[in-house]
Each structure stands twice: as C-alpha cells, then as structure tokens.
C-alpha cells in the first residue's frame, strides 16, 4: 500500500479551503495535523506542491496527500512476547494482556505494547501518530485485556481511523459488575468529560463533554448465599471515550469488579465465600475483556471479525461465580 491518497474535487466542493476539504476526506487526521502536512510540502494540487492551507480548490483538481510523520523521541524496543491473533501485510490483531499499557506516557516509557511492537517489527508499522505510537490506531485501558488492531502502513491506519471516527467499527467487551443493572438490557447515552477534582478520571457531564454511547445486555446475574449479586455484562461501544464503559457502569450504579478508580475503595461483606474473597483480593484492576473487533479490512474492502477467549483469571472468577450461584 502507498502512504498517500488522491482525491478528485467535485463540483459541490468548489471554492472550499484546502485544509477543510482534506479534513473531511481523511477523517482520522485533525485539521491541525492536515495543516502540518501542508506546511511540510506533502500536499500537491495537480502535481504541484502547495503550502497554503487556505487555498481555494476548484472542480476537477486532483489533490494528493502524503502522510505527516511526527518528530518525537525515539522509542526503545523491548523484547516482550506478543499474542498475535491475526496478521497480514496491512494489519495485526493483538490480544493485549491485562496490566500492559498500550503506548508510552507520563512515567511509563518502557514495557508498553508499542515498545514490544518496535522490537518485533522495527519500521514495519504505520507512523501517522509518530514513532512513539507505531501502528497504534486505538487504545484500551492498562487493566483491560483483549483485542487491538495495529496498522502496518499509513494508508491502512488512515482507513481504519476513519472507521473509528465514523463509529462503524464493532467493539464488544465482557465485564463483571457489582449488583444488577436495570433494565437488564439497554443503551446509555451521555456526555463524558474530565473530572474537575481529579483530571486522571472521567465523569458523566451535563454539558461541555463528548457524546458517549454504550449498548449493554446482561448475560447472567449471579446470586448465591455466600456472594453478593454480580452481573456478567456484554457492552457494545458506539463511541470510544476514555474509560467509557467504566464511567457508564458507575453512572448506572454498578461499578466493575476490581475497578480501583471508579469502584468503591473498600467493600464490607456480612458473609462471604473464602474462595471468592481470595480471587477478589488478588484482582489487579477491573474484570473487563475486549472480546470482539469487527471492521472493513483496509485493502480487501471486506468485513472481518475477530474474537478472543477470556483470560484465565477472568475465567476463574466466572467459573467460581457459576458454582456458587447454583
């Protein structure tokens, strides 16, 4: 695949600004990123380089864009075994383990998925998001396990990014939550914004937030003598806001089991099964797994869907709950 895209300007787009036109066509890139691309002489109109973001385009103009590469600190490769679920010349499907951060951030510069990808693939991944995020199209939380799609080239990255932007990618998660969500199946639509008291957390907002939609259904409610009520939930995302499922479950009054940020700091039980308490105490973060990922393949233009099994610690908790609830 080439790391460029071409567009033929139609009559309806006549007299549009170049940067606005391209931001509509390449939805994964922001308008500021489009401007940087233009400033770096990586956009041509009718085979001639232009560095004017405000240039007005005309019908039948042929616009070519090459993807901007950010200048960032070099990412250190780390030899970490990856669980590759699927691979071809354009994409990887990685099954991320619980506890692994997707890419470097403040205080976390090594042992991330990105470090592992650099070690294995070197320069064989997209670099639209810069060399610190090779191939990274989307993220899941550190303590969430499951599937991620990785782009091997910039055009694949752009096409996948557009699907995320259009909310056409299918993402399903499995999680365990305290209590019972009412109704048992439904749709949660809110605004989500940064928590004013703690900027590391997100919260449901009345205004000035981003639209967030989670569809959920209860697969099973566990209810036994020696355990509290716990629900096994499937969530299907229409949007992908930071901590979206965790925030929405808390909003419904049912935080995820093991969630130390959005759940209760401590839970007291009048009577509790010792095996359940042992597994619960050993949990390192929420019980949530990115089970399913479906999208249009960037070069084959066919719908593909990938599924992954629950990790062993999640299965262990689930099996115990089934046994205890009878």
Q: Domain spanning 84-166: which superfamily?
A: Pseudouridine synthase (3.30.2350.10)
Q: Where in the chain is the domain with CATH 3.30.2350.10?
A: 84-166, 170-294+303-325
Q: Is the pLDDT of residue 228 over 50?
A: yes
Which CATH fold would you assign to the domain 170-294+303-325? Pseudouridine synthase (3.30.2350)
Beta-bridge partner residues of 9: none
At 14, list the tokens. 């006549």
Looking at the chain, the whole-number percentage of residues with pLDDT higher than 90 is: 73
With cut-offs at 50, 70 and 90, classify the pLDDT of residue 69: low
Cβ count near 315 (within 10 Å): 12
- Residues labelled as active-site residues: 141
At 9, list the tokens. 């300007």
Would strands 91-96 and 84-87 be described as parallel, antiparallel, or unpaired?
Answer: antiparallel
Q: Where in the chain is the domain with CATH 3.10.290.10?
A: 4-66
Q: Determine the pLDDT at residue 135.
A: 93
- CATH 3.40.440.10 is right for the domain spanning 4-66: no
Give the residue ranges of DSSP H helices in the chain.
18-25, 31-39, 113-121, 154-166, 244-251, 274-282, 312-325
Specify whether the CB–CB gap between 230 and 179 falls below 8 A: yes
Q: Map tokens 């048992």 to a residue.
A: 184
Mean pLDDT on 132-153: 94
Looking at the chain, the whole-number percentage of residues with pLDDT higher than 70 is: 95
Beta-bridge partner residues of 290: 146, 173
With cut-offs at 50, 70 and 90, classify the pLDDT of residue 3: low
């Amino acid at each position: 695949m080439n790391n460029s895209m071409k567009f033929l300007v139609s009559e309806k787009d006549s007299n549009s600004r170049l940067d606005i036109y391209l931001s509509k066509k390449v939805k994964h890139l922001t308008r500021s990123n489009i401007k940087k691309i233009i400033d770096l002489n990586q956009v041509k109109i009718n085979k001639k380089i232009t560095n004017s973001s405000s240039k007005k385009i005309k019908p039948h103009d042929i616009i070519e864009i090459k993807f901007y590469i950010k200048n960032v600190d070099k990412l250190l490769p780390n030899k970490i075994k990856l669980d590759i679920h699927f691979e071809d010349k354009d994409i990887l499907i990685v099954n991320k383990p619980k506890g692994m951060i997707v890419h470097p951030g403040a205080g976390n510069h090594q042992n991330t998925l990105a470090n592992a990808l650099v070690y294995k693939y070197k320069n064989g991944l997209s670099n639209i998001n810069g060399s610190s995020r090779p191939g990274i199209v989307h993220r899941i939380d550190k303590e969430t396990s499951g599937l991620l799609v990785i782009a091997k080239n910039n055009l694949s990255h752009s096409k996948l990014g557009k699907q995320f932007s259009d909310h056409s990618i299918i993402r399903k998660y499995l999680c365990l939550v305290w209590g019972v969500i009412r109704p048992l199946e439904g749709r949660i639509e809110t605004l989500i914004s940064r928590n004013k008291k703690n900027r590391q957390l997100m919260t449901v907002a009345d205004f000035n937030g981003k639209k967030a939609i989670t569809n959920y259904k209860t697969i099973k409610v566990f209810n036994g003598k020696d355990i509290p009520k716990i629900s096994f939930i499937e969530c299907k995302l229409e949007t992908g806001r930071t901590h979206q499922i965790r925030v929405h479950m808390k909003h419904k009054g049912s935080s995820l089991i093991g969630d130390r940020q959005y759940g209760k700091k401590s839970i007291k039980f009048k009577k509790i099964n010792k095996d359940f308490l042992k597994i619960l105490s050993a949990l390192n973060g929420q019980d949530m797994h990115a089970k399913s990922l479906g999208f249009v393949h960037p070069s084959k233009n066919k719908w593909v869907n990938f599924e992954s099994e629950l990790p062993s610690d999640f299965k262990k908790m689930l099996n115990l709950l089934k046994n205890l609830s009878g």
